[in-house]
A and B are shown apart, each in its own frame.
Chain A
Amino acid sequence: MRQLETRSHQLGAKYRKFLVGRTGKSPGLVHIWEQFWRRLTLVKVKRAALLHGDRMFNFILRRVAVAIPTLIILLIASFWLMQSAPGGPFTSERPLPAQVLANIEAKYGLDQPTYVQLWNYVVGIVTEFDFGPSYKYKDRSVNDIIAQGFPVTLTYGVISFVLAIVVGGVLGMAAAIRQNSWLDYFAVGITIGAQVLPNFVMAPILILIFTLWLGWLPGGGWNGGEWQHLIMPVIALSTSYMASIARLTRSSMLEVLRSNFIRTARAKGLPDRTIIYRHALKPALLPVISYLGPAFVGMVTGSFIIDAIFGTGGIGYFYVNSAFNRDYAVMMGLTILLGSMTIMFNMVVDILYAWIDPKIRL
């Protein structure tokens, strides 16, 4: 143990020297580095002696340290993949005369080698937070597209998410607690139904019923997020997630309710309510939480189907179309946005998981 610690300090000192050598006298940076290094190494060395909060902090730090290179790899890989797809943003049924194409490519810097384009792109983002122009929708920049479309997607995504958790969770738990009752059969029945009905089938049916036949709701559009315009997109987006959450909650709750510690609790004569809320709920939620990360990302990063059918103007449609249009900057901008969100929420889920289940923190 002692040996290990010394070794770790030696290593830290080596990097400290390296850093000082690089930056001259910059105690601030060195201090930050030392803090970082200590945090990173402490966890290996003095694990047992650490306080609970510190362990949590280290866990988060490690996750962040992994997230950054992931994002960079994502950026480079998607840039390269995008550039290697046949055709370009200005390939069209009417091929442009060479001179015209040359003028356009010069304007957007597309005549430069790929690595220069990538470099300029990254520099633009870092220095000016400029994600570039749209080659297809010349009225606006990628920043404009995100600024306009993302709030829309976020609004119907978050509402769908909350709805899916609340309804799905309650339904699943109720089904598990009253297993083999009519409530259980009902819950299982509708969740299977909801799961097998894909949203590209459900969405047009909703419009047919609520717009054409009943005339209750507008058939699409966003109109600044009026509630009437939210109902159908939220139903279409949340239903299948809701079904998955309900089924997950049900089976995991059933499993927990059959475990030994619950049997012990029952033997102690604890009331049902206490058993479920104090003892069963937390472990039963673990598998559900691991599902929530991807589900949340899936909902708030936009749905092509929802945007295409309800004309909501979210970023889901822009994202898919930018690939078809070879609208490089839009595709990259949205990849970075959605990629960092995916990474972030997976991280949040891991952290939540670690908070609930101490085994993970180790």
Chain B
Amino acid sequence: MSPRTDAATGEDFGWEGEATGLARPVDASQLDTRHGDILYLDDITVSFDGFRALNKLTLDIAVGELRCIIGPNGAGKTTMMDVITGKTRPDAGTAFFGQTIDLTRLNEPTIAQIGIGRKFQKPTVFEAMTVAENLEIALKTDKSVWASLRARLSGQQRDRIDELLGLIRLGEQRQREAGLLSHGQKQWLEIGMLLAQEPKLLLLDEPVAGMTDAETEKTAELLLTLKGKHSLMVVEHDMAFVGAIAEKVTVLAEGSVLAEGSLAQVQADERVIEVYLGR
């Protein structure tokens, strides 16, 4: 085994073999999921003017898992995604991506680059650009100013865009302005843009809002094919959709986890019925 070097300075530690325990050098640039989980939220608290949007929230997502999050309005679902993606800093608690990456110290672009993709509640695409250009912008590549000034699409990237267009069923719309797409198509394009980033964890905020039943069904199929290859966290109100995709459901209420289990289990939970389903 080669000697380990310090990730930041390149300094040679001169050690042979795998160090263990506290002696193990932490390389924060690499996602470490050896313990089976990709996301750890621990005791996260976020307050806005005294209102506790998140209250000691603790939640783990396993590698390759598809987790559905449900909960009444104001339960803190969107705030949780804001914390994971670096938009909001928690007042207390820790958020780790894998074993080593502390999300509370990184900004949005960096978090996106290390492999967390996010779809907004309201579909957000670059409306003045074509569908293909939207995907081009999202592709995993060097995203610095200098790289963009000199960027040319490689053949490989073209193939990747074609592949994604097929996956999100927008092949015939590739040269259309994204602003002219239907609501459902914009949702798909946004999911396609997430996939173009090749994220390890996808956060989807209401991915089927405003979709027809047929579109919803196709989206469920798509998400099920992604499971395993990616970890997914889906916030959704549509219970039929949740039932179609979920193996494990987490119910949030008033900023913390109220219940966790299969959809049938949580639907049978007295407390859940009280705060949410029984309305």
Q: Do A and B bind each other?
A: no
Binding site for A on B (CB under 8 A): none
Binding site for B on A (CB under 8 A): none
